[in-house]
Amino acid sequence: MPTKSFFETKDYLCGEKMERTVVMQTKEELSQIIEKYLSQTSFPDEPERLYAPILYSLQQGGKRLRPLLVMLACNIFSDETAPALPCAAAVEVFHNFTLLHDDIMDNAPMRRGKPSVYKKWNQNVAILSGDAMMIYSYMLLNQAPAGLVPQILERFNRMAMQVCEGQQYDMDFENRDDVPIEEYMKMIELKTSVLLAASAEIGAIIGGASEEDCRKLYRFAIELGLAFQVQDDLLDSYGDSSFGKPIGGDIVEGKKTFLMINALSKATAQERAELRSLPGDAAVSREEKIRRVKAIYERCGVKTMAENQVKRYMARAEEILDSLSVAPERLTEMKSLVAGLLGRNK
Amino acid sequence: MPTKSFFETKDYLCGEKMERTVVMQTKEELSQIIEKYLSQTSFPDEPERLYAPILYSLQQGGKRLRPLLVMLACNIFSDETAPALPCAAAVEVFHNFTLLHDDIMDNAPMRRGKPSVYKKWNQNVAILSGDAMMIYSYMLLNQAPAGLVPQILERFNRMAMQVCEGQQYDMDFENRDDVPIEEYMKMIELKTSVLLAASAEIGAIIGGASEEDCRKLYRFAIELGLAFQVQDDLLDSYGDSSFGKPIGGDIVEGKKTFLMINALSKATAQERAELRSLPGDAAVSREEKIRRVKAIYERCGVKTMAENQVKRYMARAEEILDSLSVAPERLTEMKSLVAGLLGRNK
C-alpha cells in the first residue's frame, strides 16, 4: 500500500498537453484526440479491484459520442479545443459510471460484447468502482478553466441528478402497464438526452459561446438524443442484424419502446392483449413473436410514425444549429456528426 | 412527472439564509444550525423511490461530526460561519452516501437502529439513491464562495477517492489473514480519517486560513480520526453496553480491529490458532467467545496498547491545534469537541 496518495501527485491527469490548434478540426481528428487522452488515463496499482474495473470499462471503446459533442461544440465557438479535453473525458467517464451501475440494476451481464463489470468481478466491485468513476469524472471537470468551474459544475450536477431520475423512471416503468408516450419520452430525455445536452453545453461554455448560444446547444442535443433513441427503438425491430445486435431483442423482452407504447395505444383490444402476452409466452418461438408483434406494428402504422418522429426531432435539431450566431462553415463538422448518427451519410 | 426540472428552480437549496454572525459560536449552536439546515433539505416528489431514501437517510440523525468540523474549523479563522454551511451539509450528505453503499457491500441490514436503505426498499434503490446523494453533495459544494470552488473541489475529490480506496482495502482485508497493523491503520485513515480531515480543511479554507493552517487542520483531523477509530475498537470490547451497541460484536464477527491485529502478532501459536478459530466455532457460546478472546487480549497487553495509542494520537492532534496562528481562545470549542469525542468531559 503506497504511503502517498496517487491523487496528490496529480499523475492521474494525462501528462501530455495537446498542441495549440488554430483551425477547425474534423470530427475524426477530435475523436483521435479524445481516444489518445482517454488511453493515457492512469490510476494507482492498488487497490487493484477498485481501479482495474475503471480501466476495463474505459477501454471497452464505444462511440465516444458525448466527449465528441463537447469538443465539437467548443470548436464551433473557438479554434482552441484543448481546454475542453478534460471535460470531454469527464462526460465519457460519467457515462461509463452509469453503465456500471445500470448493468447491476438491469441484470445486464454483457456490455459491448464483453462481460459487464459486476459479472467479470462481482457486484460490490461494480458498485464501488462505479462510485470511484463518478468521483473521477468530477476530478476531470475540475481541470476546466478555473473561472468556469462553478458554472460547468452547476450544469453537470443538474444533468447527473436528472440521469438518476431517468434511470429510476425506467425501472418504475417496468412494473407499469400504462406508460403514456409523453412519460416515455420524458424518461428518455432524462436518461439519455440530458447527458448529450450537457456535453454540448459544456463544450459551448468552454468555447466562450454567449449564454443564448449555450442554451441553444443544449436544446439541440436534447432533440438529437430523442431522435437517436427513437431511431434506436426502430433499429431494434427493423435494422439489419449486421449492425451487431440481433433483431427483435426489445420485442422478445417485452420492453416498452416508442413502437410498443404507441402500438398499445392504437391497437384493438385483441391486439393489445396479444402484445402483452406474447413476450412471456413460452409456447411461441422467438421468430414467431417478432413476426406477430411486427405485424401489429405495421397495421397500427407505428413504424412510419417513428420514422416521422425521428425526422421531426432532426429537423428541430438542425434548425437550432442554423440559428447559432456563428458562420455556417463552423457548423460543418457538427452537422456531419448528426448526419452520421442518423445514418444519412452511409 | 413534472415538466420542469426541480433543480432548475434551485428549490433544493435551503431557502432561509443564516444571519450574519459576529462572534464565535459554541458547538451546540453550530450543531443546531447544521440540523436546521439539513432539516430544510427538500427534493422533488418524484421519482419517489429516488428521493425518499435520501431524506430517510438524512433524517436518521447521527453525530453530525463531519459538518461540525467544517463549521468549527471555519469559526477558528472567521467570525462568519454562514458561508461554510453548504459545505458542512455536503460532507454530511457524502458521509451518508457512503453508508448507503457500504451497507449493501457489507450486508448490514440495520443502521442507527433502523433498517438500512437496501433493506427498507431494495438494493437497486440503495445503489441509485446513493448515487443521487453523491451528486447532491457536489451540488452543495458548489454553493461555496465561487472563487473557492475549484480549490474545495480538489480537496473533496481526493478525499472521496481515498474513501473508496479505504472501503476496497477493508473488503480485501476480510479475505486476508496477514494484515499488518500498519496496513490496518492506513485503511482506517483512508476510510475514516480523510473525510474528517477534508471537512476540517474545507472549513479552514472558507474561514480564510493560511495554506499552512489549512494543512494543519487537515493533519489534526487525521490524528483525531485515528484516535477515534482505535477508541471505537476499544469500546466494542470494553465499553459499557448502555452506549447502544452490544459489547463484543467485533469479536464474535471475527473482525480485524486494532486489538485483534495486535493480539495476533503478539500471541503464542496456540493463542493465535484460538483467535482465528473462535469466531466461527458454533460449539462455543457468544459469551464464552468474548471471554476467551478478551483473556488473550489481556495477556498480550493490547488493551493498554490501544489506550496508549489513543492518547498518542490525541496528544498529536492537540499539539497541532496549539500550533495554529490564532489566539488560544479561538480553539476553545474545537478542543471541547475533541474532549467530548474521546469521552474526557463526561
Query: Does B108 lie at the interface with A, CB-CB under 8 angstroms?
Result: no
Contacts of B7 in chain A (CB under 8 A): 157-158, 161-162
Tell me if A333 sits within 8 A of A26, measured CB to CB: yes
Tell me if A342 sits within 8 A of A307, measured CB to CB: no
Q: Tell me, what's the pLDDT at A97? A: 98
Contacts of A128 in chain B (CB under 8 A): 101, 105, 164, 167-168, 171
Q: Tell me, what's the pLDDT at A330? A: 96
Burial class (CB in 10 A: 0-12, 13-18, 19+), A304: exposed
Of B150, B157, B183, the CB nearest to A1: B183
Share of chain A above pLDDT 70, in %: 91
Q: Tell me, what's the pLDDT at B342? A: 80
- pLDDT of A15 strictly over 70: no
State whether B127 and A134 contact (CB < 8 Å).
no
**Count of Cβ atoms closer than 10 Å to residue A39 Cβ:** 12
Query: Does B183 lie at the interface with A, CB-CB under 8 angstroms?
Result: yes
Of A101, A161, A171, the CB nearest to B7: A161
- Angle at the Cα of B156 from the Cα atoms of B79 and B315, rounded to 5 degrees: 65
Of B44, B138, B168, the CB nearest to A138: B138
The β-bridge partners of B25 are: none
Of B49, B105, B157, the CB nearest to A138: B157
Q: Tell me, what's the pLDDT at A203? A: 98
Q: Tell me, what's the pLDDT at B178? A: 86
List of chain B residues with pLDDT < 50: 15, 20-22, 345-346
Of B101, B128, B153, the CB nearest to A149: B153
Taking only residues 317 to 346 of chain B, the set having a beta carbon closer than 8 angstroms to any beta carbon of chain A reads none
Query: Does A160 lie at the interface with B, CB-CB under 8 angstroms?
Result: yes
Residue of B nearest to A49 (CA): B168
* Residue bearing the bigger pLDDT, A144 or A3: A144
Closest CA to B133 of B177, B89, B76, B68: B89
- pLDDT of A14 strictly over 60: no
Q: Tell me, what's the pLDDT at A111? A: 92
- pLDDT of A67 strictly over 50: yes
Q: Tell me, what's the pLDDT at B21? A: 44
Closest CA to A171 of A95, A106, A104: A106
Query: Does A174 lie at the interface with B, CB-CB under 8 angstroms?
Result: no
Per-residue H/E/C for chain A: CCCCCHHHHCCCCCCCCCCCCCCCCCHHHHHHHHHHHHHCCCCCCCCHHHHHHHHHHHCCCCCCHHHHHHHHHHHHHCCCCHHHHHHHHHHHHHHHHHHHHHHHHCCCCEECCEECHHHHCCHHHHHHHHHHHHHHHHHHHCCCCHHHHHHHHHHHHHHHHHHHHHHHHHHHHHCCCCCCHHHHHHHHHHHHHHHHHHHHHHHHHHCCCCHHHHHHHHHHHHHHHHHHHHHHHHHHHHCCHHHCCCCCHHHHHCCCCHHHHHHHHHCCHHHHHHHHHCCCCCCCCHHHHHHHHHHHHHHHCHHHHHHHHHHHHHHHHHHHHHCCCCCHHHHHHHHHHHHHHCCCCC
Cα dist. B79→A306, A340, B67 in Å? 61, 58, 17
Tell me if B261 sits within 8 A of B304, measured CB to CB: no
Burial class (CB in 10 A: 0-12, 13-18, 19+), A220: buried
Q: Which of A21-30, A259-268, A310-319 has the lowest mean pLDDT?
A: A21-30
Instruction: Take residue B119 and report the three cell numbers written for it.
Output: 433493506
pTM above 0.90, yes or no: yes
Q: Rounded to a whole number, what is the distance in Å from the CA of B193 to chain A's nearest CA?
A: 14
Of B3, B135, B150, the CB nearest to A142: B150
Q: Rounded to a whole number, what is the distance in Å from the CA of B32 to chain A's nearest CA?
A: 28
Q: Is the peptide bond before A47 cis (omega within 30 degrees of 0)?
A: yes
Q: For testing the chain B interface, which of A54, A95, A157, A173 should be mutated: the one with the most B CBs within 10 Å? A: A157
Q: Tell me, what's the pLDDT at B149? A: 98
Query: Does A139 lie at the interface with B, CB-CB under 8 angstroms?
Result: yes
Tell me if B66 sits within 8 A of B31, measured CB to CB: no
Instruction: Measure the CA–CA gap between A124 and A70, rounded to whole angstroms.
Output: 32
Residue in the structure block whose three cell numbers are 457548423: A331
- pLDDT of A62 strictly over 70: yes
Per-residue H/E/C for chain B: CCCCCHHHHCCCCCCCCCCCCCCCCCHHHHHHHHHHHHHCCCCCCCCHHHHHHHHHHHCCCCCCHHHHHHHHHHHHHCCCCHHHHHHHHHHHHHHHHHHHHHHHHCCCCEECCEECHHHHCCHHHHHHHHHHHHHHHHHHHCCCCHHHHHHHHHHHHHHHHHHHHHHHHHHHHHCCCCCCHHHHHHHHHHHHHHHHHHHHHHHHHHCCCCHHHHHHHHHHHHHHHHHHHHHHHHHHHHCCHHHCCCCCHHHHHCCCCHHHHHHHHHCCHHHHHHHHHCCCCCCCCHHHHHHHHHHHHHHHCHHHHHHHHHHHHHHHHHHHHHCCCCCHHHHHHHHHHHHHHCCCCC
Query: Does A5 lie at the interface with B, CB-CB under 8 angstroms?
Result: yes
Contacts of B165 in chain A (CB under 8 A): 44, 47, 50
Instruction: Measure the CA–CA gap between A313 and A317, rounded to whole angstroms.
Output: 6
Residue of A nearest to B10 (CA): A158
* Residue bearing the bigger pLDDT, B184 or A345: B184
Closest CA to B67 of B28, B42, B16, B30: B30
Q: Tell me, what's the pLDDT at B345? A: 41
pLDDT tens string A235-261: 999 987 655 567 888 999 888 999 999
Instruction: Measure the CA–CA gap between A201 and A192, rounded to whole angstroms.
Output: 15
Q: For testing the chain B interface, which of A168, A184, A195 should be mutated: the one with the most B CBs within 10 Å? A: A168
Instruction: Measure the CA–CA gap between A266 and A268, rounded to whole angstroms.
Output: 7
pLDDT tens string A138-192: 999 999 999 999 999 999 999 999 999 999 999 999 888 889 999 999 999 999 9
Contacts of A127 in chain B (CB under 8 A): 101, 104-105, 127
The confidence band for A272, taking pLDDT boundaries of 50, 70 and 90, is: very high
Of A8, A127, A136, the CB nearest to B101: A127
Tell me if A163 sits within 8 A of A191, measured CB to CB: yes
The confidence band for A227, taking pLDDT boundaries of 50, 70 and 90, is: very high
State whether B153 and A153 contact (CB < 8 Å).
yes
Tell me if B100 sits within 8 A of B133, measured CB to CB: yes
Query: Does B10 lie at the interface with A, CB-CB under 8 angstroms?
Result: no
Query: Does A2 lie at the interface with B, CB-CB under 8 angstroms?
Result: no
Contacts of A186 in chain B (CB under 8 A): 1, 3
Tell me if A140 sits within 8 A of A87, measured CB to CB: yes
Q: Which domains does chain B have, with CATH numbers?
A: 22-153 (1.10.600.10), 210-346 (1.10.600.10)
- pLDDT of A345 strictly over 70: no
Q: Tell me, what's the pLDDT at A289? A: 94
State whether A7 and B161 contact (CB < 8 Å).
yes
